[in-house]
Amino acid sequence: MAATEHRLSLDAEKQSLLNLHTENHFTAGEVVRDIIIGVSDGLTVPFALAAGLSGTNATSAVVLTAGIAEVAAGAISMGLGGYVSPNSSHSQLSSIV
């Protein structure tokens, strides 16, 4: 009996602590998620391209031009992917229903 009473009082104490505890979660929209994913993806490839080109003894102008071209192509690709993906999902779901 004593063990049951101790457990009930412990559970009541935990419950009262849980009732007092509040968490503030990050509630920003999908735009922030897309920006973070885009930046992390957008930084990886240009650095790899620059490292590869610099290993071939290319001039600085070639490395810089290729890096800028890749950043532009990556931005267009990510933008189109972000636009096409939700539209494709929506049209697929509406064709099922």
Average pLDDT of the chain to the nearest whole number: 76
Give the mean model confidence (pLDDT) for residues 92-96: 67
Residue 22 lies in a domain: no
User: What is the reported pLDDT for 32?
Assistant: 79
Identify the pLDDT of residue 7.
55
Structural domain that includes position 69:
32-97
In a domain, 21, yes or no: no
Q: How many domains does the chain have?
A: 1
CB-based burial, 17-56: b 16+ in 10 Å, e otherwise: eeeeeeeeeeeeeeeeeeeeebeeebeeebeebbeebeee
Residue 60 lies in a domain: yes
pLDDT of the residue at 79: 79
Residue 87 lies in a domain: yes
Question: What's the pTM?
Answer: 0.50
Q: Establish if 11 belongs to a structural domain.
A: no
